[in-house]
Structure 1
Amino acid sequence: MGYDFSTQAIHAGYDRKGNADASSVPIYASAAFDLEDSGRGQALAAGVEPGFEYSRVANPTVDALERRIAALEGGIGAVAVSSGMAAVSFALMCAGEGGGRIIAPTNLYGASVDALGDFLPQFGIHADFVHDINDLAEVESLIGPDTRAIFAETVANPSTAITDIEPLAALAHRHGIALIVDNTVPTPYLLRPIEFGADIVVHSTTKGITGHGNAIGGIIVDAGRFDWTNGRFAQFTRPEQVIADLDGNRRSFAGAFGEQAFIKRIRIKYLRTFGAVQSPFNAYLSLIGLETLPERVSRQVATATLIAERLTHTPHVVKVNYSGLGDTPQYALAAKYFPRGVGQILSFLVDGDRENVRRILDGTKLFSYVPNIGDARSLIVDPVNITHREVPTDYRIAAGVTDNLIRLSIGLEDAGDLIADLEQAIAGAY
């Protein structure tokens, strides 16, 4: 039977009977696992039998997290990694491997812009940036024979701009390219991109999924619907020694794993080779965070909406960026994709200069000056100096990231207390 999201957030992907009837997922602090006998060991190594052999490839605690998030996102499988940027990098490299191009907007998180614009080109993977990911004509004009994927954030940070996933996915699929989305800001509680056509979903589980600012992690989820054998992706159809069968015959990822070709390549080539492994302890903390995800995010969205509305009437605030407000240009998209709200982050512009911004940041008492989002605590930061400092100036300005922009991540404190703290800090800064 199909269970509600809240039920799956607590129970999905875990078998108590297979874990000594432990009601909470155990932490398997083991580097390796007994192969039992030579035949089973060979089968495990060849990938023809499920199980655990070495925690660099798979671990039971991490496996429970992967299964749970795959269920919550509606995917066929997932691979957890050591950070959100590991998830982004692995997904883009796996799609672009061997000289592919990725289309992406300029308003991505700063490290993603740096990866696409400066670092991945050193590995032969190049980006074509667009100013508006929802401008389908602009996106389509950049699709060429080497294009492998479109990459976007479902809700951009810090502008909260919403990606119109459904028509973007349809465009991508008409050209035989994949749609990869970063769903970190909304979490699967607010949005399940696979339902609207996304092929690969990535998260920084550090943020809302874990929810308490205490464990770094990332995850890649595969919808299992994209045809990786359509001619654009040679890496999925060439035979590889690493997945040779028991007789030593080389197999291709598509031939060996079918609809799981992408997520299996992530695990067997990227996780196993580059080693950005999620620790069992961090996976455990993420699982604990998942159990309260609906309650936490619902509270944070309600408070973020109240704060955004209040800031629109606060002296010295000249603009508020929060797509959940009823008078924003993207309100129709918010209604379509985010009936539960767009998330806990928002940003606002103030008048004055850098000194005024510094006084606001230093003047808050409840907000912590922290470059994270999705925490149970409320956080404040100036993106131009912290989260987006490596983004080229013209990209930053186009995304609205200027010297006078302040970003908030709303936690679980009382809404009235947070509003009072912001108002006294803003008033004291002028």
Structure 2
Amino acid sequence: MRRALCPVETLYVGQRSRAVLSCTLRGQLDPEALSAAFDAVTEAHPSLRSRVVPDGEGFALHLLAESERPRLTTRTGAAEEAHTTELNTPLPVGGPLSRAVLVSASDGDSHLFVLSVDHTVVDGHSGIALHNEIWDRYRALAEGEEQPAAAANTPAWPPPVSAFLPPADPAETAGYLERRTEAARRNPVELVGYDVTGPAAVEGRIEVCRLTLDEERTGRLRRTARAAGVSVHALVAAALLTTARRRLPGDEPRTLGCLSPVDLRSRLSPPVPALVMVPAVTTHLQTLDVTPDADPVELARTVHARLAAFVAGDGPSQEMRITPEIPRNPTLQLATVIATNMGVVPGPRLPEGLEATDVRLVPAREQYFPAAGRSPVMACVVSFEGRLAIEFPHFTACFSPEFVRAFRDEVSAALAAHTDAAEPAPAPAG
């Protein structure tokens, strides 16, 4: 049983990229119930228990045999080390497109759950919904709720998002591609150079540097963005761009690119629910001339206005239609910074006696190409339960941890300067 991949999904096959969701927990947890919950979810979503196989000139999802389907793996260990291990453990080529791991401390009171899913069948929003669905199933089992009977037939694969795109004149799409290609040619973007060179660049691993805001600071940042007439995404993107510009020499304007993923689920007809396991996302690339002392708020207004105009028009649909051209012309998505933003999302709902102390979403992939000498800087922004976090995944044979920490700290200072100027921090109590 198989389902052919559309050209958009096929793009992710070569990228070997994953969404890695994790949840740090405190309290008593029943591994058998969590295993049953994961089994129920993978049963409901055949993409999660499939492999990618060649199919003519393209690829297809092929259902795994019962003995090959993914199962929850459990072990004892430390949470931080386990998270790094999972980031650096690829999904096997030709194997399941999902993996779930539970790592518990020896005292049995603290745990880390990590869910990895191939981007061929998931995006950020569906990954978060899937993670929460597993915990919804677990809560129901832990609280003794009656479980629905399993479907008699295997659930069908969801159709690709490209099947929901509105009709378009091929000539208009060709014109859009021509304009995008010409714009990329006329405005080549500059990339941040790697700080790791020589023998140290031979080996590396994926690490994540993290910026977190508590609820009070997150609320102030949101109010600051609202007062400036921009989104939080635009403020973060501006902070990323100005920080990247200061990594380039000279005082003159340099052309930088900002790539923003755009969720399509609510923009399709009919809308695609978050729990449908397909990559329902496209991207918006804009180039900006940035100086080291650029006004971040004005930069944010430009980012916000351009992205809003793109989303309001036919750009998202046309961008998805030209996705098959990206392997032949990578400059269509080449950017100085990549700023994803999942917005404000709920964390998992858990049974009494179990508490989630942290929830994370980190993108990872298998190839980082240290020999290239430079690359985009990735920042993944998400607000779980009202607390904003920016994850900076990096490969240590390209960017050193010290380099990324300094980058993170400058972004943090820029965001704090925005909020303090618009809304001074409250005085400490006492």
- TM-score bracket, normalised by the shorter chain, equals under 0.3
TM-score normalised by structure 1 residue count: 0.27
TM-score normalised by structure 2 residue count: 0.27
Relative contact order, higher structure (CA 8 A, sep 6+)? 2
